[in-house]
Structure 1
């Protein structure tokens, strides 16, 4: 969402837009890539780059990239970094 808001502000200020999508093996990669392309189309962005670094998921330890790790419910009282942190 931060990137989308930034793009909207940049477009409003008539700045040149360039979009980057990084696939790091996340579970939501297909939806994220679809959103990336739809937002780029909405803003008429021609300068787009999609980078695949999905090999990072081999490191493991994150429920974002490892299908065998369940995504936990949020615990806002826990001061530790959750395994769902990006």
Structure 2
């Protein structure tokens, strides 16, 4: 894992953990995994699942995932032209 991913995860995790300061780290990670719908072993939980869940936690169910929104096109024609290198 790269340093910026560790820093991002800690930055996102800190306010949530402070709000639930009665939990230890394993309990906090288990709670976040359950919220995210992760049903595997805790040892298989990836940093991506945690990061995206923490970023989207509290957002509307139909909210755009951060990182995807910048690539989103309003209509198919614009997306196709952009993919072909033709700007409309």
**Greater RCO between the two (CA within 8 Å, min separation 6)?**
1
Structure number with the higher strand fraction is 1
TM-score scaled to structure 1, two decimals?
0.25
Structure number with bigger Rg: 2
Structure number with the higher helix fraction is 2
